[in-house]
Amino acid sequence: MIKVYGIKNCDTMKQAMRWLTDQGMVWEFVDYRKAGVAAANLPDWNVRAGWGKLLNTRGLTWKKLSAEERAAVDEEKALGLMVQYPSLIKRPVLDTGEKLLVGFNPEIYAEQLT
């Protein structure tokens, strides 16, 4: 089963979940703000997708960070920030078990999932 990680009230999440449903795919939503979800999954996601792809530097959470927190971000710092602030993880993170897709792009979903 496809696991869709993210924040339920996010518009991008809603688009991705609607696309999956429209394609007749079976999926399960997991809120990655719940205790431990981000911390437990980030090491695997980092290996499979890379911290640079996972870190959302365009969102409001990133913009609200202090200049010190945003400065000199490397892998260790990025992973720590994403554990501390799970909304810094780009949405959605879709895990098929074999593939990990970060962000929503209908063309990439169609290519990778159908």
Domain holding 93, by residue range, is 2-113
**Angle CA(29)–CA(36)–CA(40) in degrees, nearest 5?**
85
**CATH number, domain containing residue 56:** 3.40.30.10
pLDDT for the residue numbered 20: 97
Nearest to 49 by CA among 13, 8, 78, 29: 78
DSSP 50-81: -HHHHB--SSHHHHHS-HHHHTT--HHHHHHH
pLDDT for the residue numbered 1: 87
pLDDT for the residue numbered 105: 96
pLDDT for the residue numbered 96: 95
Residue 26 in contact with residue 1, Cβ under 8 Å?
yes
Query: What residues are annotated to the active site?
Result: 10
The number of domains in the chain is: 1
The length of the chain in residues reads 114
CA atoms within 13 A on the CB side of 111: 6
pLDDT for the residue numbered 67: 95
pLDDT for the residue numbered 97: 93
Nearest to 2 by CA among 34, 33, 25, 32: 25
Enter the pTM of the model.
Answer: 0.91
pLDDT averaged over 10-residue windows placed end to end, the chain, 114 residues:
92 96 96 86 96 95 95 96 95 96 96 92
